[in-house]
């Protein structure tokens, strides 16, 4: 069985969605240091735009945002 998920350069794409800038920066730093391609946003609307234009392997999201 072949996988339908494409991994460019063996790096997984992670989307971080959080309205707290400090949390975004911490997660960005930790995940990049671990070798992930990380995309961050503080906006749910921007997250939806990113999700419609790119395939992510994981999404880390704050669930209580303004």
Residues 25-57 pLDDT 10s: 999 999 999 999 999 999 999 999 999 999 999
pTM score? 0.82
**Mean pLDDT, residues 5-32 taken together:** 87
Q: How far apart are CA 9 and CA 60, in angstroms?
A: 21
- Tell me how crowded residue 12 is: count the other CB atoms within 10 A of its CB: 16
Spatial neighbors of 40 by CB under 8 A, at least 6 apart, are 15, 16, 17, 18, 24, 27, 28
């Amino acid at each position: 069985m072949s996988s339908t998920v494409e991994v460019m350069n063996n790096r997984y794409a992670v989307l971080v969605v959080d309205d707290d800038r400090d949390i975004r920066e911490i997660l960005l730093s930790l995940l990049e240091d671990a070798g992930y391609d990380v995309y961050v946003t503080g906006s749910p609307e921007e997250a939806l735009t990113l999700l419609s234009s790119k395939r992510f392997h994981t999404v880390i999201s704050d669930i209580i945002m303004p």
